[in-house]
A and B are shown apart, each in its own frame.
Chain A
Amino acid sequence: MNSSQIIELDSKKPLLIDPDRPIYLDYQATTPVDPQVLEQMLPYLTHDFGNAASRSHAYGWTAEKAVDKARQQVADAIHADPREVVWTSGATESTNLALKGAAHFYSGKGKHIITLRTEHKATLDTCRQLEREGFEVTYLEVQEDGLVDLKAFEAAIRPDTIVASVLFVNNEIGVIQPMAEIGRILRAHKVLFHVDAAQALGKVPVDVEAIQADMMSLSGHKMYGPKGIGALYVRRKPRVRVEAQVHGGGHERGMRSGTLPTHQIVGMGAAAELAVQLMDSDAQRIGKLRDRLLKGIQERVEETYINGSMEHRVPHNLNISFAFVEGESLIMALKEIAVSSGSACTSASLEPSYVLRALGKSDELAHSSIRFGIGRFTTEAEIDATIELIAGKVGKLRELSPLWEMHQEGIDLNSIQWAAH
């Protein structure tokens, strides 16, 4: 058999599927560019290569027209005005611009920021930097299901709170925060609301009016667009001001300088439009695959624990802990599937996932968690193969595990005094 085969998808261009590569179930890490999106991007790399800032000739006008169209596509996807969309290099930059930009601009009004312990690092690390600059940050606990307690959220607001930042859909556990309620609370207290919607667009309806967002970070590559492009929504009515973090040329109405990458922007616009178009059909198909995966695992493997609410969750994510096996060895055993582990051993630090720890999970369960990210190109055959692999490999690792043996013998592992190291 050929080492690779071409399969036709719904889209016009074929996607290369290589049977020698692992099954891709890491769609929350990144997604492939949809062939329909790629097709629209390509002309802007070669024939239509102009600089959108060139006002004096047709090359520039063509690029500007393409950028304007994409800006409209992204604005439409989140129910915003195109003048409220600022292009950035990705959601991390968007979040930096939103939080640093607003904190700096409104520092005369107050010094306090609110966020959640389960936010993406782009938010947490930006907040840490703002703390170093003299701002105060409240990192709110979440409940066992990963959702924020609204009463606790409101209680955290102080007279000097200037901005709050909440992750719409969590990247690790896929839970959906009650954004409309949070937006209402913040608006009532006149606190700016930044929403990290990198994992949300294309998975749940995103409407800046419905949730009263003041700023919103978006990413291209999480929704079948290219990497290296993102956007920040900045509300015009009532007007929200952010201080620029990148200077030089005054692009994007002074909020973010730098020549616009036309092809990337076209890709992000096309991806946003497609994401909204396909949201319902994707969610329905992916939801069936997720349910099949969960049922298959639960039927075949005992002592599994789901992390995060199943009720308030996107169907694209399943995060499960396998008790008595360690996460990194599980990832190693599962080399035929590309997934992420809640154990950060892989990134040279031995810390278990801070998100799972925030849910009150023990270090052991946090270490042994696997995030399955299901996406637009996942097939039923891939899900079935995954169930087989999981059942076999977890069984094999448990045979190796002294903890599993002790559990089988009825020993309560919590009753043992483990020597810390």
Chain B
Amino acid sequence: MAYSEKVIDHYENPRNVGAMNKEDGGVGTGMVGAPACGDVMRLQIKVNAQGIIEDAKFKTYGCGSAIASSSLVTEWVKGKTLDEAMTIKNSHIAEELELPPVKIHCSVLAEDAIKAAVEDYRSKQGAAQSSQGGEAVSAQVAH
């Protein structure tokens, strides 16, 4: 399969690989996909007091397009508000990376990962506001 140069670049030099503390109240974690399907993405965002995503990290088990899609979204969400991040669509990712039709699901998964991370962060904040703190991180989000 011929990959676009952008996919190869992200694959060979993935941006923002790593892990954040899932228990940190300012961190939202989204993990989507399943090993049996050949791809699992974990996206983590660190959100500051102003509601801006100031850092993002990922780890992905999956094909080159899945790795590239998740690497790309870590770049894209940084500096965005949560609402802005939620506007990122799989079609933007697929277009940027020039994904072939069989790889569109990778971009769908990356979009889902953003949503899952934002939702996780928001549920933590909601839990904290109702002074229930220390709610377990829900790492699994159906999509």
Contacts and interface: CB of A to CB of B under 8 A. Distances in A.
A346 interface: yes
Q: For A362, A399, A421, which residue has the most chain B Cβ atoms within 10 angstroms?
A: A421
Interface in A317-336: 324-329, 332
Contact of A332 (B40, B60, B63): B63
B49 interface: no
A122 interface: no
Query: Which of A327, A346, A350 has the most CB atoms of chain B within a 10 A radius of its CB?
Result: A350
B85 to A, nearest CB: 20
B39 to A, nearest CB: 7
Contacts of B33: 418-419, 421
A239 B72 CA distance: 65
A362 B32 contact: no
B122 interface: no
A23 B22 CA distance: 42
Given A332-B11, A363-B37, A421-B143, A326 B62 contact: yes
A402 B63 contact: no
A336 to B, nearest CB: 13
Interface string A403-421: 1110000000100111111
Nearest to B63: A328
Contact of B36 (A329, A362, A402, A405): A362
Contacts of B11: 329, 332
A420 B17 contact: no
Contacts of A362: 35-36
Contacts of B105: 350, 421
A419 B38 contact: no
Contact of B38 (A350, A405, A416): A350
Given A329-B62, A350-B37, A400-B67, A419 B32 contact: yes
A352 interface: yes
Contact size range, A: 20 to 34
B63 A326 contact: yes
Contacts of B17: 399-400
B109 A421 contact: yes
Nearest to B33: A421
B38 A363 contact: yes
Contact of A419 (B34, B59, B60): B34
A405 B19 contact: yes
B interface, size bucket: 20 to 34
B34 A324 contact: no
B86 to A, nearest CB: 19
B140 interface: yes
A263 interface: no
Most A Cβ at <10 Å: residue of B14, B41, B67, B143: B67
Interface in B46-79: 59-64, 66-67
B40 A403 contact: yes
A180 B141 CA distance: 53
A401 B36 contact: no
Given A416-B140, A419-B140, A421-B143, A364 B62 contact: no
Given A399-B17, A419-B142, A413 B35 contact: yes
Given A400-B67, A419-B143, A326 B61 contact: yes
Contact of B59 (A332, A345, A401, A418): A401
Contact of B35 (A343, A348, A363): A363
30 contacts: A326-B39, A326-B63, A328-B38, A329-B11, A329-B64, A329-B66, A332-B3, A332-B63, A346-B1, A350-B37, A350-B38, A362-B36, A363-B35, A364-B36, A367-B38, A401-B59, A402-B40, A402-B41, A402-B42, A404-B61, A405-B59, A417-B140, A418-B34, A418-B35, A421-B32, A421-B33, A421-B34, A421-B105, A421-B109, A421-B143
Interface of B: 1, 3, 11, 14, 17, 19, 31-42, 59-64, 66-67, 102, 105, 109, 140-143
9 A-B pairs closest in CB distance? A418-B34, A363-B36, A328-B63, A402-B59, A402-B42, A419-B142, A364-B35, A401-B61, A332-B64
